[in-house]
Amino acid sequence: MEKLRIAVQKSGRLIESSMKLLKECGIDVPAGNNQLKISVDNFDAEILFLRDDDIPEYVQDGVADIGFVGENVVLEKNKITNIIERLGYGKCRLSIALPKGKRLNNLQELNGVKIATSYPVILSNWLSENNIKADIHEISGSVEIAPRIGLADAICDLVSSGSTLFSNELYECETILKSEAVLISGKNLSQRKQELLDQLLFRIRSVKKAKHTKYVLLNAPNDSIAQICKYLPGINSPTIVPLAQEGWSSIHSVIGENDFWNVIEKLKAAGAQGILILPIEKIIE
Ligand code: ATP
Ligand code: MG
């Protein structure tokens, strides 16, 4: 029986969210053993635990069929893979940072500057797009100390909160890439593997959609139902159930997280009471 080989980072910033997403998709990965390859019991898949830097190449070469990895790594490694879904976690940016005392008035002042980075490919593309001739110094880790030990004038590294830059007396002066975790796949999957991938993608999309949507339950006088329904269209239309109390109904619907605070005021003004907002686990359409 063919199995879909799924590559995830062995340890690091992406592993927890990747395993959580697989679990929410109903894929049970037995925990606790230190194996590099684990078979899943309830889905035709195997999980390969790898260094994140190796994932694009393994997916290109068919050692793994799909992989969960940072978009920054995919672009840096420049292998032949498809990005098939953005996953919404592992958000960060690749930025150029300078020591605090050095001001940058315009990008052209980066000409001739020596920049330490673990992302030479992305940086050199960005420099040539912006017509800047800087000197790239590739190092594989601890990039943020390079200016302090005289290795470089500036750095280009991943930032999320900015606290590492701050504690190394650097400031972020230019973002060259915004990144998040993505799902990549190889080019030539067998028919069976493509079917398994389609099933997994369907589940991932259902989970993602549910994360941004809430279930709304409220009570309303019957004469304001029409008004309230205008604010709550639901997936098809809201469910309306009469309450024991004469002249009142309970309305059930769904609402996008981003619209929520706007709509809630309108619902209250229209006479809604006892409003409950509940998380949704999955949305199957
Ligand atoms: P590995 O041992 O697998 O090579 P790593 O040390 O290269 O791990 P991590 O630091 O675990 O990698 O980061 C993995 C990914 O997490 C990054 O490639 C990036 O996509 C994402 N990420 C999110 N926020 C940050 C951040 N502040 N710093 C670094 N990476 C971040
Ligand atoms: Mg790495």
How far apart CA 194 and CA 177 sit, in angstroms, is 30
Count the helix, strand and coil residues of the chain and give each as a percent rounded to the nearest 5: 30, 30, 35
Q: Count CA atoms closer than 13 A to 178's CA, side-chain side.
A: 3
The tokens for 183 are 């799902």
The reply to whether ligand 1 has any atom less than 6 angstroms from the CB of 95 is no
Q: Residue 268 in 3-state DSSP?
A: helix
Core vs surface per residue 223-259: b (16+ CB within 10 A) or e? ebbeebbebbeeeeebeeeeeeeeeebebbbbbeeee
Query: What is the percent of the chain with per-residue pLDDT over 90, rounded to a whole number?
Result: 91
pLDDT at 270 over 80: yes
- pLDDT classification of 75: cutoffs 50, 70, 90: very high
Q: For position 285, what pLDDT does the model report? A: 81
The dihedral of CA 16, 17, 20, 26: what is its sign? Answer: negative
pLDDT in tens, 22-59: 999 999 998 766 789 999 999 999 999 999 999 999 99
What contacts 126, CB < 8 A, 6 or more positions away? 176, 177
Residue 11 Cα, ligand 2 centroid: separation in angstroms?
10
Residue count (the chain): 285
Give the residue, out of 8, 9, 13, 142, with the most ligand 1 atoms within 8 A of its beta carbon, to mutate for a pocket test: 13
Write the single-letter amino acid at 177. Answer: L
Residue type, 8: V
CA 243 – CA 221 distance, rounded (Å): 10
Residue 3 pLDDT level (bands cut at 50, 70, 90): very high
Retrieve residue 43's tokens. Answer: 């889905």
- Give the pLDDT band (50/70/90) at residue 267: very high
d(CA 8, CA 135): 33
Q: Which tokens go with 130?
A: 């912006």
CA 225 to chain centre: 38
93: enclosing H helix or E strand? strand 92-99
**pLDDT for the residue 167:** 95
Residue 158, ligand 1, Cβ within 6 A: yes
CA of 20 relative to ligand 1 center, distance in Å: 17
Residue 79: CA atoms inside 13 Å, Cβ hemisphere, count? 23
- Choose one of 89, 158, 160, 183 to mutate for the ligand 1 pocket test, by most ligand atoms within 8 angstroms of C-beta: 158
pLDDT value of residue 233? 80
**pLDDT per position as a tens digit, 188-241:** 999 999 999 999 999 999 999 999 899 999 999 999 999 999 999 877 789 999
Helices (H), the chain: 15-24, 55-61, 71-77, 120-129, 163-167, 191-211, 225-231, 260-269
Considering the entire predicted model, what is its pTM?
0.90
Q: How far apart are CA 251 and CA 163, in angstroms?
A: 46
